[in-house]
């Protein structure tokens, strides 16, 4: 996996200027764009609180695979297996219908104007702001990809079993620092995770036949009841103690040994990342500021490949057949 990353990183960095991103990109072509996105996100949160956390994760899963181009949103076709069936996405990512609702509202107001890639960026920002986290000005102007690749996603996206050392190496390929890694992991301040992602932690950590010793004993008992051996691995548990509020509780939980995912708890057990976990657990403003910086940096990742503005985020626009 890692052998593919340096070339991808070079592609993203060298082509980053292909589409100049800027605040207020739609100020003339679709002035109400950002208001429309936030309004739909607010309604989605009222309807199902978990949905905004799900939508927020789209930015990470989209941007790390060939840049922020909404390739994640494409449905499979007879000639293309897209990213929705990738190992890190299948039975995990959800609430794609919220993006559909945003796109439908934007198409009514400003047809053919706002890209799905920009919708992902705006919606992720709004998910954080609407749940008590920071708000920030996003840079816009992305184009939507013409295709998607399950293989590309599988070659890049980390497993819930990933440790901090692996994650540090992965994020560095995208010019994201250790501090960025820890701050962006704070996206798990809201939402839920599946039992499937932690069964090995509870019953066979590193092939030992035993639970992860980093799990606080009472928390492990709680997880054992939620996720028993032989139980339904699609059952979900809260990623931190305040799953509807974007705050620094996630980091407090890591310090206490109550991280849900292995890739979360490892941030406290690994020396290079521990100092930032401790900092963010004690200083919520420091976390918020670092999170915004990380989201902006991640949002700038681009491949420079040809793109378009889709009218339906699930399918590439139709093109005339050459004769």
CA distance 307 to 132: 34
Per the annotation, does 65 bind a ligand?
Answer: yes
Per the annotation, does 39 bind a ligand?
Answer: no
Per the annotation, does 293 bind a ligand?
Answer: no
- Write out the catalytic residue numbers: 61
The CB density around residue 85, as the number of other CB atoms within 10 Å, is 13
Q: Are 57 and 191 in contact (CB under 8 A)?
A: yes
Per the annotation, does 242 bind a ligand?
Answer: yes
CA 154, 156, 157, 162 torsion: positive or negative?
positive
Per the annotation, does 247 bind a ligand?
Answer: yes
Secondary structure in 3-state letters for 66-126: CCCCCHHHCCCECCECCHHHCCCCCCCCCCHHHHHHHHHHHHHHCCCCCCHHHHHHHHHHH
Residue 322 in 3-state DSSP? Answer: coil
Per the annotation, does 209 bind a ligand?
Answer: no
Cα dist from 287 to 39, 183, 292, whole Å: 26, 6, 9
Q: Are 174 and 231 in contact (CB under 8 A)?
A: no
Per the annotation, does 188 bind a ligand?
Answer: yes
Per the annotation, does 322 bind a ligand?
Answer: no
Per the annotation, does 62 bind a ligand?
Answer: yes
Give the residue ranges of the annotated binding site: 62, 65, 67, 69, 71, 83, 158, 188, 240, 242, 247
Give the residue ranges of the annotated binding site for Ca(2+): 62, 65, 67, 69, 71, 83, 240, 242, 247
Give the residue ranges of the annotated binding site for heme b: 188
Give the residue ranges of the annotated binding site for substrate: 158
């Amino acid at each position: 996996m890692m052998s593919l990353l340096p070339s991808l990183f070079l592609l993203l960095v060298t082509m980053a200027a292909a589409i100049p991103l800027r605040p207020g990109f739609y100020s003339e072509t679709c002035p109400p764009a950002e208001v429309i996105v936030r309004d739909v996100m607010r309604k989605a949160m009222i309807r199902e609180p978990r949905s905004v956390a799900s939508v927020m994760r789209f930015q990470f899963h989209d941007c790390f695979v060939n840049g922020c181009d909404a390739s994640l949103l494409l449905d499979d076709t007879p000639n293309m297996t897209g990213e929705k069936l990738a190992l890190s996405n299948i039975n995990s990512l959800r609430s794609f219908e919220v993006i559909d609702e945003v796109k439908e509202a934007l198409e009514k107001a400003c047809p053919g104007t706002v890209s799905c890639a920009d919708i992902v960026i705006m919606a992720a920002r709004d998910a954080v702001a609407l749940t008590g986290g920071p708000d920030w000005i996003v840079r816009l102007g992305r184009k939507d990809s013409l295709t998607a690749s399950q293989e590309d996603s599988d070659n890049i996206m980390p497993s819930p079993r990933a440790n901090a050392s692996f994650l540090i190496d992965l994020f560095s390929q995208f010019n994201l620092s250790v501090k960025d890694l820890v701050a962006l992991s704070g996206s798990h301040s809201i939402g839920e995770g599946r039992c499937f992602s932690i069964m090995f932690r509870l019953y066979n950590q590193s092939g030992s036949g035993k639970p992860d010793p980093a799990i606080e004993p009472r928390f492990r008992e709680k997880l054992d009841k939620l996720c028993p051996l032989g139980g339904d691995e699609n059952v979900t548990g809260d990623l931190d103690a305040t799953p509807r509020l974007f705050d620094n509780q996630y980091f407090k939980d890591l310090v206490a040994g109550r991280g849900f995912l292995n890739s979360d708890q490892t941030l406290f057990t690994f020396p290079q990342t521990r100092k930032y976990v401790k900092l963010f657990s004690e200083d919520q403003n420091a976390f918020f500021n670092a999170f915004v910086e990380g989201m902006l940096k991640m949002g700038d990742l681009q491949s420079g490949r040809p793109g378009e503005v889709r009218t339906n985020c699930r399918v590439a626009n139709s093109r005339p057949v050459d004769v």
